[in-house]
Amino acid sequence: MSPRQTLSSSAPDVLAPTGVVRIYEVSPRDGLQNEPEILPVEAKLRLVAGLVEAGLTDIEVTSFVRASWIPQLSDAAELVGRLPRVEGVRYWGLVPNERGLERAVEVGLRHVATFMSASETHNRKNVNRTRQESLSALRQVIGAARDEGVVVRSYLSTVFGCPYEGPVAIADSVNLALSLMEAGADEIALGDTTGMGDPALVQRVIAAMVQAGVPLERIALHMHDTKGTALANILAGYQAGVRTFDGSIGGVGGCPYAPGASGNAATEDLVHMLHAMGVHTGVDLDRACQAGQALAQDLGRPLPGRYLRYWLGAHARTAAARTA
């Protein structure tokens, strides 16, 4: 595999500097994959441009899966080919297998994400494989990516609970995370796929990961807000020392193969909370809300993010006062 073009500087350090929280934006991929309508490429490019203007530097833009699996993301190659080249911005693509990796590298991506589940049943539902079958295949994908100098994030879904099995043994998640790191993954993103986690569980999982040898700085949290606990769980992760958190503008998103998986943690909510705590993120909150406003218009519906709804209401009141 030899990339025709590169969309970011070569393999920069993706870890958050000390004292800084890194927001990993997933709305163009995880946010749109579960939408009933398929947005045109132009709308996706507007979204990505708005995210970049807001200061987000890690953006998961699409997935290189079969169009029949996720038709909402079937335009992956065209989208990546038209992305704005901005210094310091890292675009990521989800890859299910070696062919997906080849497609991502062919269009110039130097950052990819793999995925599997911590629970056996969800993994079978999601990719029709056992966990061990997935792990064996991902070793090949990650190895091939590393041979190309491509940075790899590995998602581990259902760590905090499975919609089919219920609680997931922490030891299972730890062993899978270690195996993915041994295969060469640069970062492990722990997913609360249907929002079943709680702050105490989040801290137990992180403590077990660290004790087993997973470096704290290589752990990310991907939390869904199904039951309204995403921010509480992220705060618990922050208190445990995690500094990379996934967000989705407006709180859009969900897993097609996880019943009840509503939207991701809203980027605006997450940034507002962290800024109120005095934590630096590098994200301009107003510009992030503008990106959320534009996405809501393109989708033709209000988005669930709480801070975005507050921001829209405040702007509407200000506009009404000016015309009064």
Which tens digit of pLDDT belongs to each residue from 274-311?
A: 999 999 999 999 999 999 999 999 999 999 999 999 99
Give burial (CB, 10 Å; 0-12/13-18/19+) of 312. middle
Q: Which domains does the chain have, with CATH numbers?
A: 22-323 (3.20.20.70)
Type and span of the H or E element at 204: helix 199-212
Cα distances (angstroms) measured from residue 5 to each of 59, 79, 105, 215, 241 = 18, 14, 9, 32, 36
Give me the phi and psi of 74, to 5 degrees please.
-70, -10
How far, in Å, CA of 154 to CA of 53, rounded?
27
Span 25-75, pLDDT tens digits: 999 999 999 888 899 999 999 999 999 999 999 999 999 998 888 999 999
| pLDDT number for residue 18 | 54
Q: Strand pairing of 58-63 and 219-223?
A: unpaired
Which residues are annotated as catalytic? Answer: 255
Instruction: Answer for the pair 3, 91: CB distance below 8 angstroms, yes or no.
Output: no
C-alpha–C-alpha distance, residues 95 and 74, integer Å: 13
| pLDDT at site 255 | 59
pTM of the model: 0.92
Cα separation values, 33 from 38, 65, 72, 193, Å: 9, 11, 6, 14
What is the Cα 242 distance to its own chain's centre?
15
What pLDDT digit, counting tens, does each position of 136-163 carry?
A: 999 999 999 999 999 999 999 999 999 9
Q: How far are the Cα atoms of 152, 162, 170, 181, 208 from residue 178, in angstroms, in the given order?
A: 14, 20, 12, 5, 11
Question: Which among 172, 177, 101 has a CA at the least distance from the CA of 142?
Answer: 101
- From first CA to last CA, the distance across the chain in angstroms is 62
User: Which sign does the torsion angle of CA 7, 10, 15, 19 carry?
Assistant: negative
In whole angstroms, what is the distance from residue 244 CA to residue 65 CA?
25
